Amino acid sequence: MAVSKETLDEIALSQDEYQAIVQRLGREPNPVELGMFGALWSEHCGYKHSKQLLALFPSESPELMVAVGEENAGVIDIGDGLAVVFKIESHNHPSAVEPYEGAATGVGGIVRDILAMGARPVALLNSLRFGPLSDTRSRQLFHGVVSGISGYGNCIGVPDVGGEIQFSLSYAGNPLVNALCLGIVPSDGLVRAVARTPGNLLVLVGAETGRDGIHGASGLASRTFEEEREQRPAVQVGNPFLEKVLIEACLEVAREGLIEGMQDLGAAGLTSSVVEAVAKGGTGFELDVASVPRREEGMSAYEVMLSESQERMLLIVSPSRLEQVRAVFDRWDTLCNVVGSVTPDGMARIFEGDVQVAAAPVSVLTEPPLYTVDGEKPLFLAELQRYNLDSVPLPAEGPEQVLLRLLGAPNIASRAWVYRQYDHQVQTNTVLGPGQADAAFLRIKGTTGALALSTDGNGRICYLDPAIGGMLAVVEACRNLVCTGARPVALTDCLNFGDPERPEVAYQLKQCVDGIVRACLALGVPVVSGNVSLYNETRGEPIYPTPVLGALGLARDVERRCGSAFAHEGDVVLLLGADRVAGDAASLAGSEYLELVHDLVAGQPTLDLALEVRVQGCCLRLVQDGLLSSAHDCSEGGLAVALAESAIQGNIGFRGAFESTGRWDAALLGETPSRIVISVPVGEAERVEAVCREMDIPCARLGSVGGDRFSVPDLLDIPLTSLDDAWRNGLERELG
């Protein structure tokens, strides 16, 4: 049959890829088969442009329980007979089309990835990017996404305990909505998404199937996004109340050992769920779409196989266990229907009643072509990196006015307006939540231990140097963990980039992966799961390259933890990672100050990985030894913002006693990495400094905690109330 360019565009396949399908099948695919190939060979499901790069990530760890890529999420042994399952994924394009449902179903989907492994979801985080809040459309997207996350997460009873939000013109047409979920499971209770045994049944549980989400994976997530195209039907619609009971029912059948395997229905729906499960088991399947419960009449086999309707799970069940499984789902008042069976022949066969509507080898469906991504460094990038930052004039405003302006800026101001909408205490595991520390800190019930979680990424830095940007995303996420007292043990990644077929985007992606690899090797932390989101462009304009890293930390003693707020009058304030406060213009590269005050994104970011490793090791030791009152890393806004945030959060002032050299703007607001502001009881200051010398860590005394003002000699003297007002109310002022 002749296939039109429009048809191939709809399922995001190229003409060459179509010809490869014909060659491998030895015939033309029929419409249902073509739809299945389009989904499974999509960028979202097949990782055509990223699989070879992802193989470079370090993935070995004595605590890793499942090989990377084998299952829905990474699994880390945390001791005490328990394991953690965690992963981050994107829902960018659906959120651009319909922000509430796009974000809500992003939460629902990542929760089911964790559920599919038999783990109870216990925490959510998110990483969000929007255009400037001065833009009406960006404000609408922001409100819709935040409402979607809170609406879904609050209903299912999984706390949203942390995350990050950034604003830039780069994301105006293409917001980023990345969601992370973590679950806990007994080490011997893992469930695998594998169908190994011929004769076992394919059982679909949860919601009825509708027409929502068709071409969500192959379409929205695997091509550039054009706002003028009507794509709402490709966005799924969620039902969090059904997901809540689905969680409980699935955990019950898993706990009771009633299933051989379990897989969620996410991208590409039944197609990917069943095909991937049998591919891992080396088997095949027969499936009857007529057995699939539907909420809409007249649905074709094509629509049933590609629907991405939410709140659905696939169970692999022995016939002898079927009635027990049905009894569980009946008790939870949830649909449970046999839709097919596992076969030994490695074929995917789809029926509609007695009529076969598709048949293809599973091995062909699951082996899309892979492309080499390398690219070329764009000329404009070299010019930006060579920009003479010494030529940037000092602002007409003084240090006090500039600091207040930064504290109230959308990229730095308090996120309380957002996280007040999230329930971050449900399940009663949250020890340090949003606004209390650099990472979320959660108790592990039944043990003395705790987990820490953080997400981090900086698209602006990655735009200027994608390799350094990739490294910084890793080290900043891990630095957040050690500030709380947790040892980084694993990472999950979400790589958000533009069209990889463009040389400059291919260059960004390759360099960024190289940077992530270097940082992971230096810190000894593996990447155990993740997601790639490509084609994040609108009308030919790509987003900033934005790798987001989710980091997991482990603390053996939940009581040995540290927040970011100054705590005690008279505590000594120290700076780990530097022996003085230097105003070097190079530290302004890619900084929030440079863009906000000078409307400039330029310079060459730097990172000393060896120093970073030592600083993190030192901070972790100091927290675990109980020597610190607070710890807060320097990132966006630099030293002055880090000090001000600790003072505001603790509602106590800071008396600076340091002298700076060079430019005051660089000294206060430069973003030199590998620095952590700590506060220490007076009697422990010399001991802390001795530890720093022992570990070869530069350390500078900055002043002391106390009073009701924020002062630095000859530079700043601001009432704490003024800092507090700027920071706490900045985001709401921008929202109007």
Mean pLDDT of 311-320: 97
Q: How much is the pLDDT for 229?
A: 45
**Complete DSSP assignment for 603-627:** S-----HHHHHHHHHHHHHHHHTT-
Give me Rg for the CA atoms of the chain. 26
DSSP state of 420: T
Specify whether the CB–CB gap between 488 and 482 falls below 8 A: yes
Residue 222 has pLDDT above 80, yes or no: no
Task: Give the least confident one: 70-74, 115-119, 496-500.
Answer: 70-74
Q: What share of the chain is helix, strand, coil (3-state, %, to 5)?
A: 40, 25, 35
- 720 vs 703: CA distance, rounded Å: 16
Sign of the alpha-carbon torsion through 374, 380, 384, 388: positive
Residues 160-170 as b/e (b if ≥16 CB within 10 A, e otherwise) read: bbbbbbbbbeb
pLDDT-based confidence at residue 213 (cuts at 50, 70, 90) = confident
- 493 vs 53: CA distance, rounded Å: 13
Task: Return phi, psi of residue 89, to 5°.
Answer: -140, 165
Mean pLDDT of 267-277: 94
Which two tokens mark 600? 């400039």
Which position has the token pair 């706490």? 728
| Residue 714, Cβ density class (10 Å: 0-12 exposed, 13-18 middle, ≥19 buried) | exposed
Percent of the chain with pLDDT over 70: 97
Specify whether the CB–CB gap between 603 and 410 falls below 8 A: no
- 448 vs 6: CA distance, rounded Å: 59
- Helix (H) / strand (E) element for 198: namely none
pLDDT-based confidence at residue 224 (cuts at 50, 70, 90) = low
Mean pLDDT of 295-313: 94
DSSP state of 661: E
Spell out the residues 6+ positions from residue 599 whose beta carbon is closer than 8 angstroms to its own: none
Percent of the chain with pLDDT over 90: 90
In three-state form (DSSP H/G/I as H, E/B as E, the rest C), the secondary structure along 66-88 is CCCCCCCCEEEEEECCEEEEEEE
- 468 vs 216: CA distance, rounded Å: 33
Specify whether the CB–CB gap between 463 and 469 falls below 8 A: yes
- 525 vs 478: CA distance, rounded Å: 9
Residue 91 annotated to the active site: yes
Angle of the 31-40 helix axis to the 15-25 helix axis, nearest 10: 120
Mean pLDDT across the chain: 94
**Complete DSSP assignment for 511-565:** HHHHHHHHHHHHHT--EEEEEEE---EETTEEPPPEEEEEEEEEES-TTS---SS
Mean pLDDT of 130-150: 96
Mean pLDDT of 331-336: 97
Q: What is the pLDDT of residues 433-446, one digit of tens each?
A: 999 999 999 999 99
pLDDT-based confidence at residue 5 (cuts at 50, 70, 90) = confident
Spell out the residues 6+ positions from residue 348 whose beta carbon is closer than 8 angstroms to its own: 36, 274, 275, 278, 284, 285, 287, 358, 359, 360, 361, 362, 365
DSSP state of 90: E
- Helix (H) / strand (E) element for 711: namely strand 709-712
Q: What is the pLDDT of residues 559-605, one digit of tens each?
A: 999 999 999 999 999 999 999 999 999 999 999 999 999 999 999 99
Q: 3-state class of 270 per DSSP?
A: helix
Mean pLDDT of 630-653: 98
Domain spans in the chain, listed from the N-terminal domain onward = 1-41+192-367, 379-735
Strand pairing class (355-361; 347-352): antiparallel
Q: What class has domain 379-735? A: alpha beta
Q: What class has domain 1-41+192-367? A: alpha beta
Residue 723 has pLDDT above 80, yes or no: yes
Q: What is the pTM of this model?
A: 0.95
The active-site residue, picked from 91, 93, 215, 424, is: 91
CB count in 10 Å sphere of residue 140: 12
- 97 vs 100: CA distance, rounded Å: 9
Residue 424 annotated to the active site: no
The active-site residue, picked from 44, 93, 215, 424, is: 44
Q: How much is the pLDDT for 226?
A: 53
Q: How much is the pLDDT for 230?
A: 45
Task: Return phi, psi of residue 693, to 5°.
Answer: -65, -40
pLDDT-based confidence at residue 225 (cuts at 50, 70, 90) = low
Which two tokens mark 160? 């949203």
Specify whether the CB–CB gap between 285 and 349 falls below 8 A: yes
Where does 187-247 show beta strands of DSSP type E?
A: 201-206
